[in-house]
A and B are shown apart, each in its own frame.
Chain A
Amino acid sequence: MLRFGIAACAVGALAFAEGFTFTIGNPVASQEFQMKTAAFVFRTNGCAEPAASQISATAEGLVKGARQSVVLKVKAAAKPGVYAVFQSWPAEGDWVVSLRGVCASESAGAIVPIGPKGFIRESAKFFPRPATSAEVDASLKALAQSGNKGGSK
């Protein structure tokens, strides 16, 4: 019993040490053909109960100098903790996707820039909390200044 308790504590400590975070990937990472047209997929890490986590996403854009925000529908994959984001924001302008998640008492956030060829993995930013408006604006500005030429697909 004592061993079990120690092992459980160790596992809990490891999970806590890893923290609640997101990993983004090409739609093929979900291993589900229904996700193939997604802009990208993502998964949660360090969440003991992915099914109980709360996940949301918005597309944040800069179109002709005006800020726009589109609430996105996040589609859950069959595998717990894996989700897909489908493009429902306009093609015009510069856009990033802001991910937010809550698992038990932990939060996570990410900003994923979108280029003409898909999401830009190298420029994505990850946070142990939801991204702030200032961080979203800064990513949009960086995307616009980069010429918006990147993308993973």
Chain B
Amino acid sequence: MFTRHVSRQLAAHIDGELAPSRARQVELHAAQCAQCRAEREQVRFGMETIERLPPVEAPDAIWVSIEAALRERQSQKAWAARRWRWAFAATAVLVLLGAAYWSVAHRSDARWDVVRIDGSPTVIRAGKWIETDSASSATVKIGDIGSVEVAPNTRLRVVTARPGEHRLALARGEIRAKISAPPRLFFVETVSGTAVDLGCEYTLNTDEAGFGLLQVTKGWVSFQWQGIESLVPAGASCRIRPNVGPGIPYFDDASENMKRALGDGALNVILAEARVRDTLTLWHLLSRVEAEDRARVYDRIASLTPIPAGVSREEALKLDAETLKRLKEELAWTW
């Protein structure tokens, strides 16, 4: 029925990545082809073996060898099938050796283990997607730098897990992160932007459209989207919205009028309601309001707390980066 073998599709087939019609063709062919059935079992065995290995980072040198092997393979098409097997075998051996080496050399680094699960969660491709239902939750250990509690009804993907970068993608639901590491090692991507850990503990929730809330309980979190950044310290929150960037941060104990006004964009109310520690909100507004309103925001800050030496009104209104940084560092003593 099929004259061509299906070696090239076996890995994708086992992974469930083929389209349904193509998957049926592979199954039909394998049913009649002993060679492909044997290959399928070999590939399945290899993949299961690799699945059982701890998730570790391969040294860069391995990829150089793999790329060289693949280039050689491309230049000798006549030997393609045989080469493929050799390349696969070589890759598997190299990965196994690399994994063994790396797990010894970096035993404590970059592990993403689901260490506790309550109820009966659906875990999709362990190490890749984690999904909890309404009755389940999970705790994911993020290497040696902390952990993430995954609330019910949450879908989460591990994007990157290496010592210099730990990155999750939160498709929907809620997570609570407790991170103890230098800033900018842990990231959570959402539809609306990326939460960047600056040394912190926080809760982040989002729906599938990208609407949600970031609440920080310790340290700082930076939420970024296309060059727009909200810095959220402990005790403060920030709305996240799709396509417009993060909202203006506010302290959780700010007046309800002020919180409402932030949603409505009612600047007069915000300025009237602001307390000294609400300079957190006002500082962010400096770079978000129209130029004609900027002076009003700056002057309100100045009326609430002394402006530090070295910060000029003129430079602040020009949104000079160094001036705004210096102002923020001083205002932070009131936050």
Q: Which residues of A contact B (CB under 8 A)?
A: 23, 25-29, 31-34, 36-37, 43, 118, 152-153
B199 close to A (CB within 8 Å): yes
A-B contact pairs, 10 of them (CB 8 A): A23-B333, A25-B332, A28-B233, A29-B329, A29-B333, A31-B329, A33-B198, A33-B200, A36-B201, A118-B235
Q: Is the pair B335, A33 in contact by a Cβ cutoff of 8 Å?
A: no
A22 to B174, CA, bound (A): 40
Question: Do A36 and B199 form a contact, CB below 8 Å, given A26-B235, A28-B234, A153-B234?
Answer: yes
Residue of B nearest to A31 (CB): B329
Question: Do A37 and B333 form a contact, CB below 8 Å, given A26-B233, A26-B234, A26-B235?
Answer: no
A28 to B329, CA, bound (A): 9
Q: Is the pair B234, A25 in contact by a Cβ cutoff of 8 Å?
A: no
Residues of A within 8 A of B183 (CB): 33
A26 to B328, CA, bound (A): 13
Q: How far is the CB of A32 from chain B (nearest CB, A)?
A: 8
Residues of B within 8 A of A29 (CB): 329, 332-333, 335
Q: How far is the CB of B83 from chain A (nearest CB, A)?
A: 50
Q: Is the pair B334, A28 in contact by a Cβ cutoff of 8 Å?
A: no
B220 close to A (CB within 8 Å): yes
Q: How far is the CB of A70 from chain B (nearest CB, A)?
A: 22
* Prevailing SS type, chain A contact patch: mixed
Residues of B within 8 A of A36 (CB): 199-201, 218-220, 234
The 3 closest A-B pairs by CB, nearest first: A33-B199, A36-B219, A25-B333
Residues of B within 8 A of A43 (CB): 333
B59 close to A (CB within 8 Å): no
Q: Which residues of B contact A (CB under 8 A)?
A: 181-183, 198-201, 217-220, 233-235, 329, 332-335
Q: How far is the CB of A27 from chain B (nearest CB, A)?
A: 7
A25 to B280, CA, bound (A): 13
A152 to B252, CA, bound (A): 10
Residue of A nearest to B232 (CB): A28
A14 to B181, CA, bound (A): 40
A28 in complex: contacting residue of B181, B182, B201, B332, CB < 8 Å: B332
- Given pairs A27-B218, A29-B333, A32-B199, 12 additional interface contacts (CB within 8 A): A26-B234, A28-B233, A28-B332, A29-B332, A31-B329, A31-B332, A33-B181, A33-B182, A118-B235, A153-B217, A153-B218, A153-B234
Q: How far is the CB of B1 from chain A (nearest CB, A)?
A: 63
A153 to B198, CA, bound (A): 17
Q: Is the pair B335, A25 in contact by a Cβ cutoff of 8 Å?
A: yes
A34 to B332, CA, bound (A): 16
B335 in complex: contacting residue of A23, A28, A34, A37, CB < 8 Å: A28
Residues of B within 8 A of A25 (CB): 332-335
Residues of A within 8 A of B334 (CB): 25
Residue of A nearest to B217 (CB): A153
Residue of B nearest to A152 (CB): B235
Q: How far is the CB of A136 from chain B (nearest CB, A)?
A: 24
| Most chain B beta-carbon contacts within 10 A, residue among A32, A33, A34 | A33
A23 to B306, CA, bound (A): 13
A5 to B137, CA, bound (A): 69
Residues of B within 8 A of A27 (CB): 218-219, 234
Q: How far is the CB of B229 from chain A (nearest CB, A)?
A: 15
Q: How far is the CB of A18 from chain B (nearest CB, A)?
A: 11
Q: How far is the CB of A53 from chain B (nearest CB, A)?
A: 18
Residues of A within 8 A of B332 (CB): 25-26, 28-29, 31
Q: Is the pair A37, B329 in contact by a Cβ cutoff of 8 Å?
A: no
Residues of A within 8 A of B217 (CB): 153
A86 to B144, CA, bound (A): 22
Q: How far is the CB of A107 from chain B (nearest CB, A)?
A: 22
